[in-house]
Structure 1
Amino acid sequence: MAMSVGGETGDDVPMSDINTTPLVDVMLVLLIIFLITVPVVIQTVPVKLPDVKYQVTQTKPENVSLSVRGGPGGTCEVYWNLQKVSSKELLDRAAKKLKDQIAAVGGVQNINDENMPEAHIRGDQNTPYKCIGGTVFTMQMAGFARVGFISQPSLAGK
């Protein structure tokens, strides 16, 4: 940036005019950038999302039904069928259930998708994630490969 000192009249007063040429250059560059990028941002990729369909839960005797809810003071309450269990009891019962099922079918080599027990978890809407996540983790640690969630479908029209 240069500053002009003096004028045609010969007095030594600095000029107070602003050189707007660099400002116009910057604005033109920004305008060109926006003209190039806006069509790119506006373009969308068509995506067909899957329709949600509720499948009827097949209740088999070897499946485990768990209910999880938040307790007082931020604690978690887990119910095996209708009996309240702690995390240790849940792990022990789940491991025993899986061991008994393997023994009932004649060994690990006879386990398949039809006779593999599943864990079905029902969670209250107000249940903290740590309770649901902890239950899923405990069931997976016990050896359950299939852990699913039971939900209630929303009413049509709402």
Structure 2
Amino acid sequence: MVKAARVPEPVPFSAINVTPFIDVMLVLLIVMILSIPIATHKVPIDLPSGPGLIVEERPHQLGIDRGGALFWDGRRIADAELPGLLETMQRDTAAVLHMNTDPDARYDRFDGVLAVVKRAGVERLGFVGNRPLPD
């Protein structure tokens, strides 16, 4: 006589292994976190549009010494003279303003002078390194 072996019926498996799903989601999250700032970061820069006229620049030096005194092209000036000099400089299209501030000068003095320069509408402005002004 043949005996039949009883095989238990399979029980439904109700749990899903979510570890691979979580791993994939974390990788996608990291990719999004790294790529979004690159896509949205923009710095507007006015670049020249190809070969054009090379304009000779005539730089003017605006200096602020340690004590806060102003110097225009090497000569000492009063604060009241600065707006007039900047206005005259703006009429010359080749003029460029170079600011040289003593590293020991007070920041609020520099900020005030820079505000005067900005109000004058100076767009061609450069900053010369932090070297003490010659005495």
> So what's the TM-score if we normalise by structure 2?
0.49
